[in-house]
Amino acid sequence: MPASNRLVSAIFSALPGFIFLILFLGSSWPGRDYWWETYLVVLIALVMSSLILGFAFPPIIQRLGLRQSWIWILIQGLLAWIVALILLGLLNLTPLCVGQDNGDGNNNLGMCMFMTMLSAIVYSPVYLLMLVTSAMIGNWLIGRNIIAQKE
């Protein structure tokens, strides 16, 4: 598999996470609340894991018999999303969340885990919609790149 196709796969796997990161940094939230460091780390991990998986996994996925590039991008993006949600859950088990003053009192473990699950429930459909859109565009570009290389 050409490196150019792997690079396109990595870029389109990371695009939804990058958009989330840009929206987060562009909002007025960073630095104001106790939890912004946690979400910043998770969003950076989402983008980085998407890029790494997007570049490393296409040859492996192709050997498994999946030739459609949109499936590679979806699998890579979903794996990166799972990594990000696990990281969010782990970070919310630490004093970055537990014991912090949230304005109504201090967070306990239950509140921090509830916020982790709520983030997953609210943002997963948005992320998946963005990932499917990105996968279709990436599939089109990879398909054009493969055709251009055969000629």
pLDDT digits (tens, 9 = 90+) for 80-134: 999 999 999 999 998 888 888 777 778 889 888 999 999 999 999 999 999 999 9
Which residues lie closer than 8 Å to 4 by C-beta, 6 or more apart? Answer: 145
pLDDT: is 72 or 16 the higher one? 16
**pLDDT for res 5:** 76
**Does residue 148 have a pLDDT over 50?**
no
Q: Residue holding tokens 């999303």?
A: 81
Distance in angstroms (rounded) separating the CA atoms of residues 63 and 81: 23
Q: Are 90 and 112 in contact (CB under 8 A)?
A: no
The model's pTM: 0.85
Q: pLDDT band for position 29 (50/70/90)?
A: low
107 phi/psi in degrees, rounded to 5: -70, 140
| CA dist., res. 72 & res. 54, Å (int) | 8
User: Across residues 26-41, what is the average pLDDT?
Assistant: 78
The pair of structure tokens assigned to 106 is 């201090």
* pLDDT for position 71: 85
DSSP label at residue 100:
-
DSSP conformation class of 33: S
- Position 151 pLDDT exceeds 60: no
Do residues 69 and 9 lie in contact, with contact meaning Cβ atoms separated by under 8 Å?
yes
> Which of 27, 25, 46, 37 is closest to 123 using CA atoms?
46
3-class DSSP assignment, residue 143: helix
